[in-house]
Structure 1
Amino acid sequence: MDTIKAQQWLIGIFSVLLIVALLIVAGVEMKRSRSTKPVIEIDKMTQKCINCHTAKGIAVNQIEAWKDSKHAVMGIGCNECHEAKKDDWDAFTCPESDILIGRHPTPKDCAKCHEDEVKEFADSKHAHQFWLLKNADRAVFENPISTRHGCEQCHQIANIWPDGSVGECDACHAKHSFSIAVARQPETCGECHIGPDHPHIEIYLESKHGNIFKAKGKNWDLSYSSKDGKRIPIEAPVCTTCHMD
């Protein structure tokens, strides 16, 4: 009997140790899966920009946002977006590298890769707000200060750039991360589509769709592709589901 009890004790101890070991391994794997970032290869030019900006403490958060972006994973670095020619309206010479840099990438720059998306935007209502067309008298509606803060901060999405392109891509796609998931958040649309004259975000959030989003949306992956013909993988639509995707 003593031998049997000893064996039972040993089995029990080993079982407990095994369970503890499995829990530790599971915890490590969960932590690793949450902290894993995409592997990126940084070209020499981009690394030079990163080193200089980091040393001077300039736009450090933007660098981190870029590192987590799809652009970074695909090898699209600083120069691909900020490359400039001598006669470009926003060109300046970087004092550290003697390279011409564009201060303000415009839809024309985005169109080098996203030609269809830029054309689609240029043909949309977002791109053609009559009070931002050339020679429009904005003061017809309000005094210039009220117009600037009450209208232009949203309607600058139809900004006309000196290079002839129209729009503000980063009004929806936040700079340097350019995340499609961020652009699809109803709150992104709600930055402008809000208030008594266009209460779209209020209407959405008070709808059944909005209630479902508020309850479960934090767990949704909004970075899905809408070009593959597959069913959109979210339980309820967000703004872009009907108006963009």
Structure 2
Amino acid sequence: MKDKVINILKLVLEQINKHKKLVGVLFIVFVAVALVGGRKFWHYAESSEFCGSCHEMKVHYDSFMSSKHHNEHVHSCHTCHVGPGLKGFLHAKLSDGAHDSFEHMRKTYLTSPNSGLFIDVAEDSIPIINGNCVNCHTNKEYTKDKTHLEKVSQSKRKGEDGALADFFCTDCHIGVVHPSWSADVYKAYAEKKIPPFGTFSEDDCYACHRHATPKIVKEWTNSPHAKGGVSCLECHGDDHGQIVERRGSVLPSKCGECHATMYNDFAQSRHYTGRIVAEFDGFVSSTKNAVMRKDCEKCHMLGLSKTWDTGPGGSCEGCHPKHLFSRSKASEAKVCEKCHIPFRGPDHALLDMGVKSLHGKLYGRWKEEGNIKLRCQSCHSDPYNHHNFNRNVSLLSD
């Protein structure tokens, strides 16, 4: 057998030597055809049509072709799914390609949460896709608020192991290009204003409220909570029925689980403890338990107990604008002005900080001088108890 193979090889070499020119021409033609054909196949393999030729990917292809992302700037799947440079290309072909091929051969996608209609993107490709989102949308032409991208890049979320992980565009903007059952449901909830009931995950919150309350989601991404990976669930819980019943309110005691020092200071303040407004025959009525008119609640919400609250009540939201929870915003005079101004409800002469009062004149002068460090807290807050504003308010205690 070995001798036969050797003889055949010798015969082939003899024929090549006899017809060198012909073999050379044929070789050149072969190389040319291979280069041209290979180049065309390469470009076809890079096209969206090639991606959609697999029946599991057809639903992705159809949704992409009908989406706003299919335009002169995003003309193929590779614009989003392939990272920059040779590294990005190799990752797409080796990692993504291997993932999709294995899913196709093993048919594991048939039992996935998406009802087995299509193959989900590989987990290690999500950062690449989001990186391409940022690269494109940093262009002012495609982004109304460029600072939003900067804030999102600083935001974090807690992984399954409890460690902080990056927060991605796709955490909120699911279903923008490709189909997603949950995204369609969330959009329906938002459009019909139907509050969903049941328990939900962190991902559900971001994806649904991106449609229902986009301003709140944007405020959260600008907050220190986002940078620290504090999600909706940690403050509001996962029971949406209870969240709706409480109208999204969060008790100070919940805030105090993380901000213990601030909560303890606030719990000792007049804002929280309230004032006794009537007392007779053993009955005590205060600003915490009195049946308040709606006009009164706007100011007295700092200490007012809720109907569903079994604890001491109160609210941090009166000073800390949700969902920003900005310390600098809470220390601005206009936050205090919301309540401590004469034309807000009944005449509260001692609380008058209008522009014609001594308080107003002093603050106006400080503002003109550019002394922005002077706040209401400069006089009314103990430096060691910066959430207890009982300092220098002895007249109110009499």
The reply to whether residue 92 of structure 1 matches residue 241 of structure 2 is: yes
Q: Is the 8 A contact 1:83 1:102 kept in 2?
A: no
Q: 2:360 aligns with which of 198, 205, 211?
A: 205
Residue 258 of structure 2 is matched in structure 1 by: 113
Letter of the aligned partner of 1:200 in structure 2? M
Residue 222 of structure 2 is matched in structure 1 by: 68
Runs of 5+ unmatched residues, structure 2: 1-145, 160-200, 387-398
TM-score (normalizing by structure 1): 0.60
Alignment of 1:28-43 (within 5 A): 35=147, 36-37=150-151, 39-43=154-158
Residue 338 of structure 2 is matched in structure 1 by: 191
The reply to whether residue 52 of structure 1 matches residue 205 of structure 2 is: no
The reply to whether residue 167 of structure 1 matches residue 311 of structure 2 is: no
The reply to whether residue 78 of structure 1 matches residue 196 of structure 2 is: no
Residue 376 of structure 2 is matched in structure 1 by: 239
Summarize the Cα distance change of 1:111–1:236 in structure 2 as closer, same or farther, 3 Å threshold. Answer: closer
Segment drifting more, 122-131 vs 172-181: 122-131
Summarize the Cα distance change of 1:84–1:135 in structure 2 as closer, same or farther, 3 Å threshold. Answer: farther
Distance, in Å, in 1 between the alignment partners of 2:286 and 2:229 is: 44
Residue 26 of structure 1 is matched in structure 2 by: none
Q: 2:328 aligns with which of 155, 175, 181?
A: 181
Summarize the Cα distance change of 1:205–1:83 in structure 2 as closer, same or farther, 3 Å threshold. Answer: same
SS at structure 2 position matched to 1:104: coil
Residue 296 of structure 2 is matched in structure 1 by: 151
Distance, in Å, in 2 between the alignment partners of 1:104 and 1:150 is: 18
Q: Is the 8 A contact 1:212 1:236 kept in 2?
A: no
Runs of 5+ unmatched residues, structure 1: 1-33, 86-90, 95-100, 217-233
Q: Is the 8 A contact 2:302 2:316 kept in 1?
A: yes
Q: Is the 8 A contact 2:202 2:231 kept in 1?
A: yes
Summarize the Cα distance change of 1:119–1:132 in structure 2 as closer, same or farther, 3 Å threshold. Answer: farther
SS at structure 1 position matched to 2:154: coil
Letter of the aligned partner of 2:335 in structure 1? T
Letter of the aligned partner of 1:48 in structure 2? D
Deviation at 1:47, TM superposition (A): 3.3
Distance, in Å, in 1 between the alignment partners of 2:366 and 2:321 is: 25
Segment drifting more, 109-118 vs 127-136: 127-136
Deviation at 1:177, TM superposition (A): 0.7
Q: Is the 8 A contact 1:81 1:109 kept in 2?
A: yes
Summarize the Cα distance change of 1:236–1:69 in structure 2 as closer, same or farther, 3 Å threshold. Answer: closer
Letter of the aligned partner of 1:151 in structure 2? C
The reply to whether residue 136 of structure 1 matches residue 280 of structure 2 is: no
Deviation at 1:165, TM superposition (A): 3.0
Aligned residue pairs total: 176
Distance, in Å, in 2 between the alignment partners of 1:84 and 1:50 is: 13
SS at structure 1 position matched to 2:322: coil
Distance, in Å, in 2 between the alignment partners of 1:184 and 1:212 is: 15
Letter of the aligned partner of 2:260 in structure 1? E
Deviation at 1:132, TM superposition (A): 9.9
Aligned identity (percent) is 25
Deviation at 1:137, TM superposition (A): 8.0
Larger Rg: 2
Q: Residue deviations 1:118-160, cap 9 Å, x none?
A: 121111111122249996288xx9xx8xx61443321121112
Q: 1:126 aligns with which of 271, 279, 289?
A: 271
Distance, in Å, in 2 between the alignment partners of 1:82 and 1:102 is: 10
Deviation at 1:109, TM superposition (A): 1.1
Q: Is the 8 A contact 1:132 1:159 kept in 2?
A: no
Instruction: Give the number of the structure with larger relative contact order, counting CA–CA contacts within 8 Å between residues 6 or more apart.
Output: 1
Deviation at 1:214, TM superposition (A): 5.2
Summarize the Cα distance change of 1:65–1:131 in structure 2 as closer, same or farther, 3 Å threshold. Answer: farther
